[in-house]
Protein backbone atom coordinates (compact mmCIF):
# COMPACT_ATOMS: atom_id res chain seq x y z
CA UNK A 1 0.00 0.00 0.00
CA UNK A 2 1.30 3.45 -0.85
CA UNK A 3 -0.19 6.88 -0.12
CA UNK A 4 0.03 9.32 -3.02
CA UNK A 5 -1.65 12.75 -2.96
CA UNK A 6 -3.63 11.60 0.03
CA UNK A 7 -4.89 8.51 -1.80
CA UNK A 8 -4.00 5.15 -0.31
CA UNK A 9 -3.80 2.54 -3.06
CA UNK A 10 -5.38 -0.73 -1.98
CA UNK A 11 -6.35 -4.02 -3.51
CA UNK A 12 -8.69 -6.54 -1.97
CA UNK A 13 -6.77 -9.52 -0.55
CA UNK A 14 -7.64 -12.81 -2.23
CA UNK A 15 -9.39 -14.03 0.93
CA UNK A 16 -11.94 -11.21 0.67
CA UNK A 17 -12.47 -11.91 -3.00
CA UNK A 18 -13.71 -15.46 -2.46
CA UNK A 19 -14.68 -16.38 1.11
CA UNK A 20 -14.72 -20.20 0.80
CA UNK A 21 -17.89 -21.60 2.38
CA UNK A 22 -16.58 -25.20 2.10
CA UNK A 23 -13.56 -24.44 4.30
CA UNK A 24 -15.76 -24.81 7.36
CA UNK A 25 -15.33 -28.59 6.89
CA UNK A 26 -11.57 -28.22 7.39
CA UNK A 27 -11.67 -26.43 10.75
CA UNK A 28 -9.13 -27.90 13.22
CA UNK A 29 -10.67 -28.29 16.67
CA UNK A 30 -8.09 -27.96 19.44
CA UNK A 31 -10.41 -27.98 22.49
CA UNK A 32 -13.92 -29.06 23.58
CA UNK A 33 -14.85 -25.39 23.85
CA UNK A 34 -13.97 -24.71 20.22
CA UNK A 35 -15.80 -27.91 19.23
CA UNK A 36 -18.92 -26.54 20.91
CA UNK A 37 -18.39 -23.15 19.30
CA UNK A 38 -17.83 -24.68 15.85
CA UNK A 39 -20.99 -26.81 16.19
CA UNK A 40 -22.91 -23.69 17.13
CA UNK A 41 -21.44 -21.76 14.17
CA UNK A 42 -22.16 -24.59 11.75
CA UNK A 43 -25.70 -24.93 13.05
CA UNK A 44 -26.39 -21.22 12.79
CA UNK A 45 -24.92 -21.07 9.27
CA UNK A 46 -26.64 -24.19 7.96
CA UNK A 47 -29.69 -24.89 10.13
CA UNK A 48 -31.27 -28.29 9.53
CA UNK A 49 -34.68 -26.63 9.33
CA UNK A 50 -33.76 -24.64 6.18
CA UNK A 51 -36.35 -25.47 3.54
CA UNK A 52 -35.80 -25.01 -0.19
CA UNK A 53 -37.70 -21.85 -1.10
CA UNK A 54 -40.40 -22.21 -3.73
CA UNK A 55 -40.97 -18.46 -4.09
CA UNK A 56 -37.83 -16.31 -4.24
CA UNK A 57 -37.82 -12.51 -4.24
CA UNK A 58 -34.53 -10.72 -4.91
CA UNK A 59 -34.88 -6.98 -4.33
CA UNK A 60 -31.93 -4.87 -5.50
CA UNK A 61 -31.71 -1.31 -4.21
CA UNK A 62 -29.47 0.23 -6.85
CA UNK A 63 -26.93 2.39 -4.99
CA UNK A 64 -28.44 1.62 -1.59
CA UNK A 65 -25.32 1.80 0.58
CA UNK A 66 -24.91 2.01 4.35
CA UNK A 67 -24.86 5.85 4.33
CA UNK A 68 -28.04 6.06 2.25
CA UNK A 69 -29.70 3.53 4.52
CA UNK A 70 -28.63 5.42 7.67
CA UNK A 71 -30.01 8.66 6.23
CA UNK A 72 -33.25 6.94 5.19
CA UNK A 73 -33.71 5.46 8.67
CA UNK A 74 -33.28 8.95 10.21
CA UNK A 75 -35.81 10.53 7.83
CA UNK A 76 -38.25 7.63 8.27
CA UNK A 77 -38.13 8.11 12.04
CA UNK A 78 -38.67 11.88 11.66
CA UNK A 79 -41.73 11.25 9.47
CA UNK A 80 -43.10 8.48 11.70
CA UNK A 81 -42.60 5.95 8.87
CA UNK A 82 -40.73 2.64 8.79
CA UNK A 83 -38.60 0.80 6.26
CA UNK A 84 -39.91 -2.77 6.46
CA UNK A 85 -36.78 -4.56 5.22
CA UNK A 86 -34.41 -3.20 7.88
CA UNK A 87 -36.56 -5.11 10.42
CA UNK A 88 -35.83 -8.46 8.73
CA UNK A 89 -34.33 -11.09 11.07
CA UNK A 90 -31.19 -11.69 8.99
CA UNK A 91 -28.65 -8.97 8.17
CA UNK A 92 -25.52 -9.35 6.06
CA UNK A 93 -22.84 -7.25 4.39
CA UNK A 94 -21.46 -7.59 0.89
CA UNK A 95 -18.30 -6.53 -0.94
CA UNK A 96 -18.98 -5.21 -4.44
CA UNK A 97 -15.68 -4.56 -6.34
CA UNK A 98 -15.53 -5.67 -9.98
CA UNK A 99 -12.84 -7.73 -11.76
CA UNK A 100 -10.92 -4.62 -12.82
CA UNK A 101 -11.87 -1.89 -10.32
CA UNK A 102 -12.40 -1.38 -6.58
CA UNK A 103 -15.55 0.51 -7.60
CA UNK A 104 -18.05 -1.50 -9.61
CA UNK A 105 -20.55 -0.28 -12.17
CA UNK A 106 -24.09 -1.69 -12.21
CA UNK A 107 -23.30 -4.08 -15.09
CA UNK A 108 -20.37 -5.87 -13.42
CA UNK A 109 -22.28 -5.78 -10.10
CA UNK A 110 -25.36 -7.47 -11.54
CA UNK A 111 -23.14 -10.01 -13.31
CA UNK A 112 -21.72 -10.95 -9.90
CA UNK A 113 -25.14 -11.03 -8.24
CA UNK A 114 -26.85 -12.94 -11.07
CA UNK A 115 -24.11 -15.20 -12.48
CA UNK A 116 -21.82 -15.48 -9.46
CA UNK A 117 -18.71 -14.36 -11.37
CA UNK A 118 -16.71 -11.13 -11.37
CA UNK A 119 -16.34 -9.28 -14.64
CA UNK A 120 -14.97 -5.95 -15.84
CA UNK A 121 -16.92 -2.73 -15.47
CA UNK A 122 -19.54 -2.12 -18.20
CA UNK A 123 -19.61 -5.82 -19.22
CA UNK A 124 -22.80 -7.80 -18.73
CA UNK A 125 -22.72 -11.57 -18.08
CA UNK A 126 -19.53 -12.03 -20.13
CA UNK A 127 -16.33 -13.17 -18.39
CA UNK A 128 -13.33 -10.79 -18.19
CA UNK A 129 -11.77 -12.66 -21.16
CA UNK A 130 -14.55 -11.07 -23.30
CA UNK A 131 -15.38 -14.53 -24.67
CA UNK A 132 -17.16 -16.75 -22.17
CA UNK A 133 -20.84 -16.09 -21.65
CA UNK A 134 -22.02 -16.35 -18.04
CA UNK A 135 -25.42 -17.77 -17.10
CA UNK A 136 -27.57 -15.82 -14.64
CA UNK A 137 -29.44 -17.68 -11.89
CA UNK A 138 -32.73 -16.58 -13.47
CA UNK A 139 -31.95 -18.70 -16.57
CA UNK A 140 -30.86 -21.67 -14.43
CA UNK A 141 -34.09 -21.48 -12.42
CA UNK A 142 -36.14 -20.99 -15.61
CA UNK A 143 -34.74 -24.31 -16.84
CA UNK A 144 -35.67 -25.90 -13.50
CA UNK A 145 -39.29 -24.85 -14.08
CA UNK A 146 -39.39 -21.65 -12.05
CA UNK A 147 -41.47 -18.81 -13.47
CA UNK A 148 -39.26 -15.74 -13.76
CA UNK A 149 -40.15 -12.07 -13.30
CA UNK A 150 -37.98 -8.96 -13.77
CA UNK A 151 -39.16 -5.50 -12.68
CA UNK A 152 -37.53 -2.10 -12.30
CA UNK A 153 -38.23 1.62 -11.91
CA UNK A 154 -35.94 2.32 -14.91
CA UNK A 155 -35.85 0.90 -18.46
CA UNK A 156 -35.88 -2.88 -18.97
CA UNK A 157 -32.65 -2.77 -21.02
CA UNK A 158 -30.76 -1.02 -18.22
CA UNK A 159 -27.88 -2.93 -16.58
CA UNK A 160 -29.57 -4.37 -13.48
CA UNK A 161 -32.71 -5.84 -15.08
CA UNK A 162 -30.71 -6.81 -18.20
CA UNK A 163 -28.33 -8.87 -16.06
CA UNK A 164 -31.13 -11.37 -15.43
CA UNK A 165 -31.95 -12.13 -19.09
CA UNK A 166 -29.11 -10.88 -21.34
CA UNK A 167 -25.37 -10.79 -21.96
CA UNK A 168 -23.40 -8.11 -23.78
CA UNK A 169 -19.85 -6.81 -24.08
CA UNK A 170 -21.24 -3.37 -23.25
CA UNK A 171 -24.18 -2.42 -21.07
CA UNK A 172 -24.82 0.37 -23.60
CA UNK A 173 -25.80 -2.02 -26.43
CA UNK A 174 -29.42 -1.32 -25.55
CA UNK A 175 -31.00 -2.82 -28.67
CA UNK A 176 -28.89 -6.00 -28.56
CA UNK A 177 -29.77 -6.39 -24.89
CA UNK A 178 -33.50 -5.77 -25.42
CA UNK A 179 -33.54 -8.25 -28.33
CA UNK A 180 -32.67 -11.01 -25.86
CA UNK A 181 -35.72 -10.29 -23.69
CA UNK A 182 -38.43 -11.86 -25.93
CA UNK A 183 -36.27 -14.99 -26.34
CA UNK A 184 -35.94 -15.46 -22.56
CA UNK A 185 -39.33 -17.10 -22.11
CA UNK A 186 -39.65 -15.36 -18.74
CA UNK A 187 -43.21 -14.72 -17.62
CA UNK A 188 -43.23 -11.11 -16.46
CA UNK A 189 -41.34 -7.90 -17.19
CA UNK A 190 -42.15 -4.38 -15.97
CA UNK A 191 -40.31 -1.08 -16.21
CA UNK A 192 -40.38 2.33 -17.86
CA UNK A 193 -39.80 0.95 -21.38
CA UNK A 194 -36.90 0.42 -23.79
CA UNK A 195 -34.22 2.98 -24.68
CA UNK A 196 -33.72 1.89 -28.30
CA UNK A 197 -36.64 -0.40 -29.26
CA UNK A 198 -36.85 0.37 -33.00
CA UNK A 199 -33.47 1.32 -34.50
CA UNK A 200 -33.38 2.01 -38.26
CA UNK A 201 -33.34 -1.13 -40.46
CA UNK A 202 -33.83 -3.43 -37.46
CA UNK A 203 -36.83 -5.40 -36.33
CA UNK A 204 -38.83 -3.70 -33.56
CA UNK A 205 -38.58 -5.10 -30.03
CA UNK A 206 -42.38 -4.88 -29.84
CA UNK A 207 -42.71 -7.07 -32.97
CA UNK A 208 -40.29 -9.59 -31.43
CA UNK A 209 -42.31 -9.59 -28.21
CA UNK A 210 -45.53 -10.31 -30.12
CA UNK A 211 -43.84 -13.08 -32.15
CA UNK A 212 -42.71 -14.70 -28.90
CA UNK A 213 -46.18 -14.66 -27.36
CA UNK A 214 -45.86 -11.67 -25.04
CA UNK A 215 -48.77 -9.34 -24.34
CA UNK A 216 -47.48 -5.78 -23.97
CA UNK A 217 -49.40 -3.30 -21.81
CA UNK A 218 -49.06 0.39 -21.01
CA UNK A 219 -51.97 0.27 -18.55
CA UNK A 220 -51.34 -1.53 -15.28
CA UNK A 221 -55.10 -2.14 -14.84
CA UNK A 222 -55.35 -3.86 -18.23
CA UNK A 223 -52.26 -5.91 -17.41
CA UNK A 224 -53.89 -7.06 -14.15
CA UNK A 225 -56.80 -8.35 -16.29
CA UNK A 226 -54.54 -10.06 -18.86
CA UNK A 227 -55.06 -13.79 -19.41
CA UNK A 228 -51.71 -14.10 -21.24
CA UNK A 229 -49.05 -16.25 -19.53
CA UNK A 230 -46.29 -13.88 -20.69
CA UNK A 231 -46.74 -10.18 -19.94
CA UNK A 232 -44.74 -6.97 -20.32
CA UNK A 233 -45.76 -3.68 -18.70
CA UNK A 234 -44.16 -0.39 -19.78
CA UNK A 235 -45.15 3.26 -19.49
CA UNK A 236 -47.50 4.82 -22.10
CA UNK A 237 -45.92 6.41 -25.20
CA UNK A 238 -46.48 9.95 -23.87
CA UNK A 239 -44.42 9.12 -20.77
CA UNK A 240 -40.67 8.79 -20.38
CA UNK A 241 -39.20 5.47 -21.55
CA UNK A 242 -36.05 6.15 -19.50
CA UNK A 243 -37.46 5.97 -15.98
CA UNK A 244 -40.65 5.97 -13.93
CA UNK A 245 -41.19 9.41 -12.38
CA UNK A 246 -39.44 9.88 -9.06
CA UNK A 247 -41.70 8.80 -6.22
CA UNK A 248 -42.02 12.36 -4.88
CA UNK A 249 -43.12 13.65 -8.33
CA UNK A 250 -45.62 10.91 -9.22
CA UNK A 251 -49.23 11.64 -10.15
CA UNK A 252 -52.14 9.22 -9.71
CA UNK A 253 -51.74 7.81 -13.25
CA UNK A 254 -48.13 6.74 -12.68
CA UNK A 255 -47.58 3.21 -11.48
CA UNK A 256 -45.52 2.49 -8.39
CA UNK A 257 -42.97 -0.25 -7.73
CA UNK A 258 -45.39 -1.66 -5.12
CA UNK A 259 -48.15 -1.97 -7.76
CA UNK A 260 -45.69 -3.59 -10.18
CA UNK A 261 -44.67 -6.05 -7.46
CA UNK A 262 -48.34 -6.90 -6.79
CA UNK A 263 -48.93 -7.38 -10.52
CA UNK A 264 -45.83 -9.56 -10.85
CA UNK A 265 -46.91 -11.76 -7.95
CA UNK A 266 -50.35 -12.18 -9.56
CA UNK A 267 -48.75 -13.28 -12.85
CA UNK A 268 -45.97 -15.45 -11.39
CA UNK A 269 -48.20 -17.30 -8.91
CA UNK A 270 -51.12 -17.80 -11.34
CA UNK A 271 -50.61 -21.58 -11.67
CA UNK A 272 -48.85 -22.11 -8.33
CA UNK A 273 -45.52 -22.93 -10.00
CA UNK A 274 -42.28 -21.97 -8.18
CA UNK A 275 -41.07 -18.47 -9.07
CA UNK A 276 -38.04 -16.16 -8.90
CA UNK A 277 -38.81 -12.44 -9.00
CA UNK A 278 -36.10 -9.74 -9.25
CA UNK A 279 -37.31 -6.25 -8.41
CA UNK A 280 -34.98 -3.27 -8.73
CA UNK A 281 -35.29 0.12 -7.05
CA UNK A 282 -33.25 1.69 -9.86
CA UNK A 283 -33.82 5.35 -9.08
CA UNK A 284 -32.16 5.30 -5.64
CA UNK A 285 -28.90 5.28 -7.60
CA UNK A 286 -29.96 8.01 -10.04
CA UNK A 287 -31.04 10.34 -7.22
CA UNK A 288 -27.77 9.64 -5.37
CA UNK A 289 -25.71 10.38 -8.52
CA UNK A 290 -27.41 13.80 -8.58
CA UNK A 291 -27.05 14.16 -4.78
CA UNK A 292 -30.81 14.70 -4.44
CA UNK A 293 -31.48 13.88 -0.77
CA UNK A 294 -35.27 14.19 -0.87
CA UNK A 295 -35.53 11.98 -3.98
CA UNK A 296 -33.18 9.41 -2.42
CA UNK A 297 -35.50 9.00 0.56
CA UNK A 298 -38.58 8.93 -1.70
CA UNK A 299 -37.06 6.08 -3.73
CA UNK A 300 -35.93 4.11 -0.67
CA UNK A 301 -39.48 4.44 0.70
CA UNK A 302 -40.96 3.35 -2.65
CA UNK A 303 -38.56 0.36 -2.61
CA UNK A 304 -39.64 -0.49 0.95
CA UNK A 305 -43.33 -0.32 -0.02
CA UNK A 306 -42.68 -2.81 -2.84
CA UNK A 307 -40.97 -5.11 -0.32
CA UNK A 308 -44.05 -4.78 1.93
CA UNK A 309 -46.10 -6.34 -0.89
CA UNK A 310 -43.70 -9.30 -1.02
CA UNK A 311 -43.82 -9.48 2.77
CA UNK A 312 -47.62 -9.86 2.66
CA UNK A 313 -47.12 -12.79 0.22
CA UNK A 314 -44.47 -14.24 2.55
CA UNK A 315 -46.93 -14.09 5.48
CA UNK A 316 -49.36 -16.24 3.46
CA UNK A 317 -46.60 -18.71 2.45
CA UNK A 318 -43.97 -18.37 5.21
CA UNK A 319 -42.41 -21.83 4.89
CA UNK A 320 -41.77 -21.64 1.15
CA UNK A 321 -40.97 -17.98 0.53
CA UNK A 322 -37.55 -16.30 0.68
CA UNK A 323 -37.09 -12.52 0.41
CA UNK A 324 -33.59 -11.15 -0.11
CA UNK A 325 -32.97 -7.39 -0.14
CA UNK A 326 -29.54 -6.30 -1.33
CA UNK A 327 -27.75 -3.44 -3.10
CA UNK A 328 -25.46 -3.62 -6.13
CA UNK A 329 -23.09 -0.90 -4.85
CA UNK A 330 -23.05 2.35 -2.90
CA UNK A 331 -23.68 5.62 -4.79
CA UNK A 332 -22.86 9.20 -3.76
CA UNK A 333 -20.48 8.46 -0.89
CA UNK A 334 -23.37 9.27 1.45
CA UNK A 335 -22.23 10.03 4.97
CA UNK A 336 -23.97 11.32 8.10
CA UNK A 337 -22.21 14.13 9.99
CA UNK A 338 -23.56 16.19 12.91
CA UNK A 339 -25.28 18.59 10.54
CA UNK A 340 -26.92 15.86 8.46
CA UNK A 341 -26.40 14.06 5.16
CA UNK A 342 -23.33 14.76 3.04
CA UNK A 343 -22.65 13.36 -0.42
CA UNK A 344 -18.94 12.94 -1.09
CA UNK A 345 -19.23 11.78 -4.69
CA UNK A 346 -21.44 11.94 -7.76
CA UNK A 347 -20.42 8.42 -8.63
CA UNK A 348 -20.42 4.92 -7.16
CA UNK A 349 -18.06 4.06 -4.30
CA UNK A 350 -16.46 0.78 -3.24
CA UNK A 351 -18.06 0.64 0.23
CA UNK A 352 -19.64 -2.59 1.41
CA UNK A 353 -23.43 -2.70 1.14
CA UNK A 354 -26.17 -4.15 3.37
CA UNK A 355 -28.19 -7.32 2.76
CA UNK A 356 -31.43 -8.28 4.56
CA UNK A 357 -33.30 -11.57 4.36
CA UNK A 358 -36.40 -13.28 5.73
CA UNK A 359 -38.02 -16.65 5.12
CA UNK A 360 -36.98 -20.12 3.93
CA UNK A 361 -33.18 -20.37 4.09
CA UNK A 362 -32.70 -16.69 5.01
CA UNK A 363 -30.01 -17.61 7.58
CA UNK A 364 -27.37 -18.22 4.90
CA UNK A 365 -27.39 -14.51 4.04
CA UNK A 366 -25.89 -13.39 7.37
CA UNK A 367 -22.24 -12.36 7.73
CA UNK A 368 -19.81 -10.62 5.39
CA UNK A 369 -19.33 -12.09 1.92
CA UNK A 370 -18.75 -11.15 -1.69
CA UNK A 371 -21.57 -10.22 -4.09
CA UNK A 372 -20.73 -13.33 -6.18
CA UNK A 373 -22.13 -15.42 -3.29
CA UNK A 374 -25.75 -14.32 -3.79
CA UNK A 375 -26.69 -16.75 -6.60
CA UNK A 376 -24.49 -19.49 -5.10
CA UNK A 377 -26.26 -19.23 -1.75
CA UNK A 378 -29.68 -19.40 -3.45
CA UNK A 379 -28.70 -22.45 -5.55
CA UNK A 380 -27.20 -24.10 -2.45
CA UNK A 381 -30.61 -23.81 -0.76
CA UNK A 382 -32.26 -25.53 -3.73
CA UNK A 383 -29.92 -28.54 -3.80
ZN1 LIG B 1 -26.14 0.19 -9.83
Between strands 340-342 and 231-233, the pairing is unpaired
Q: What is the distance in A from the centroid of ligand 1 to the CA of 121? A: 11
Q: What is the distance in A from the centroid of ligand 1 to the CA of 72? A: 18
SS3 317: coil
H helices of 123-189, in order, are 137-143, 159-162, 174-179, 181-184
pLDDT at residue 15 is higher than 50: no
- pTM here is 0.89
CB of 321 closer than 8 Å to CB of 275: no
Q: What is the distance in A from the centroid of ligand 1 to the CA of 60? A: 9
- pLDDT tens per residue across span 312-344: 999 999 999 999 999 999 999 999 999 999 999
CB of 159 closer than 8 Å to CB of 150: no
Q: What is the distance in A from the centroid of ligand 1 to the CA of 107? A: 7
State residue 167's pLDDT score: 98
Q: What is the distance in A from the centroid of ligand 1 to the CA of 285? A: 6
In the chain, the domains with their CATH numbers are 73-277+311-381 (3.40.720.10)
Q: What is the distance in A from the centroid of ligand 1 to the CA of 339? A: 27
pLDDT at residue 279 is higher than 50: yes
State residue 75's pLDDT score: 97
HSE-up of 225 (CA within 13 Å, CB side)? Answer: 4
Closest C-alpha among 103, 109, 60 to residue 332: 103
354 forms beta bridges with 93
Q: What is the distance in A from the centroid of ligand 1 to the CA of 278? A: 14
- pLDDT tens per residue across span 229-241: 999 999 998 888 9
Average pLDDT over residues 179-189: 98
Mean pLDDT across the chain = 90
State residue 5's pLDDT score: 64
SS3 content of the chain, % helix, strand, coil (to 5): 40, 20, 45
Query: What residues contact residue 122 under an 8 Å CB cut-off, 6+ apart?
Result: 105, 107, 108, 170, 171, 172
- pLDDT tens per residue across span 79-136: 999 999 999 999 999 999 999 999 999 999 999 999 999 999 999 999 999 999 999 9
Q: What is the distance in A from the centroid of ligand 1 to the CA of 228? A: 31
Q: What is the distance in A from the centroid of ligand 1 to the CA of 63? A: 5
Amino acid sequence: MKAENGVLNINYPVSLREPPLQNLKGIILPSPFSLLLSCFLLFSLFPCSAQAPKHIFLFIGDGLGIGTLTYSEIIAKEKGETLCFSQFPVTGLMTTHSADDLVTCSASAVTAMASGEKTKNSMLNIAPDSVHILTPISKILHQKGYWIGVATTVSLDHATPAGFYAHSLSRKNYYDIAKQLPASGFRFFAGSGFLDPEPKDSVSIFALLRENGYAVFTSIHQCFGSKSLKNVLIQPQDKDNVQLPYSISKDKNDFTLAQITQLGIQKLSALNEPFFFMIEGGLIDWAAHDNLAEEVYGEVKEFSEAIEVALAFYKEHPKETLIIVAADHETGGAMILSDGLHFNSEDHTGSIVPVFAIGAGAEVFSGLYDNTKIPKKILHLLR
